[in-house]
């Protein structure tokens, strides 16, 4: 393991611990419901807002963020894409087939592309791409999956 990877793992582990503490705190906020009836004015509005934030989209967004951070610490398997007879892709050194929603990383080899290098995303399917394609999380550009394309997955 390289020094940079050790540093990344250290930071991911520290951030994960912090996020777990934050999640535990967020889960305690709904216990403030009884105080709504005991408050008035701006205090009532603030406590309602705080509870709504912790029960709503923020909590969901935090879960997605936590999952993405934790994913960086998982073991990475790199290979080349191989098109199977059933139309699905896998890595040439791994039998797991990719279907829509499967998280993968691809290497964009064309230096002229704004997204040159490794990109994080998922497999999706569309007639626009005549089958499976890489949905780039960075939003720069999506790519048709092809045999031989350098890719990687993170194992659980």
Which tens digits make up the pLDDT trace of 144-154?
A: 999 999 999 99
Q: For residue 112, what pLDDT band results from cuts at 50, 70 and 90?
A: confident
Label residue 57 by pLDDT band (50, 70, 90).
confident
Domain assignments of the chain as residue spans, ordered by start: 3-73, 76-154
Say if residue 150 is exposed, middle or buried (CB neighbours under 10 Å; 0-12, 13-18, 19+).
middle
DSSP 96: P
- Phi and psi of 100, rounded to 5°? -55, 130
Q: Supply the pTM of this predicted model.
A: 0.75
Question: What pLDDT, on the 0 to 100 scale, is given for residue 96?
Answer: 87
> For all residues of the chain together, what is the average pLDDT?
91
Please give the pLDDT value at position 104: 96
- Cβ atoms of 124 and 132 closer than 8 Å: yes
Torsion of CA 147, 150, 151, 152, to 10 degrees: 130
Q: How far is CA 79 from the centre of its chain?
A: 20
Distances (CA, A) of 24 to 12, 46, 57: 18, 20, 16
Mean pLDDT along residues 17-27: 90
What DSSP letter does each residue of 13-34 carry, written as one string? HHHHHHHHHHHHHHHHGGGGGG
Token pair for residue 130? 């005549």
d(CA 74, CA 29): 31
pLDDT digits (tens, 9 = 90+) for 1-19: 789 989 998 999 999 999 9
Residue 45 binned pLDDT confidence (cut-offs 50, 70, 90): very high
Q: How is residue 81 written in tokens?
A: 């894409």
What's the token pair of residue 106? Answer: 């691809």
The residues, ordered by sequence, that sit 6+ positions from 44 with a Cβ below 8 Å of its Cβ are: 36
């Amino acid at each position: 393991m390289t020094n940079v990877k050790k540093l990344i793992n250290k930071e991911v582990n520290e951030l994960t611990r912090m996020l777990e503490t934050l999640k535990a705190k967020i889960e305690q906020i709904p216990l403030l419901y009884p105080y709504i009836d005991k408050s008035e004015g701006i205090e009532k509005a603030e406590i309602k807002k705080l509870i709504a934030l912790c029960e709503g989209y923020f909590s969901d967004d935090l879960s997605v963020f936590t999952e993405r951070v934790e994913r960086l610490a998982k073991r990475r398997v790199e290979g080349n894409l191989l098109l199977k007879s059933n139309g699905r892709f896998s890595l040439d050194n791994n039998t797991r087939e990719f279907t829509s929603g499967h998280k993968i990383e691809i290497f964009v080899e064309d230096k002229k592309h704004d997204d040159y290098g490794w990109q994080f995303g998922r497999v999706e399917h569309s007639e626009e791409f005549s089958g499976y394609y890489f949905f780039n999380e960075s939003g720069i550009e999506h790519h048709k999956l092809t045999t031989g394309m350098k890719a990687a997955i993170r194992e659980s």
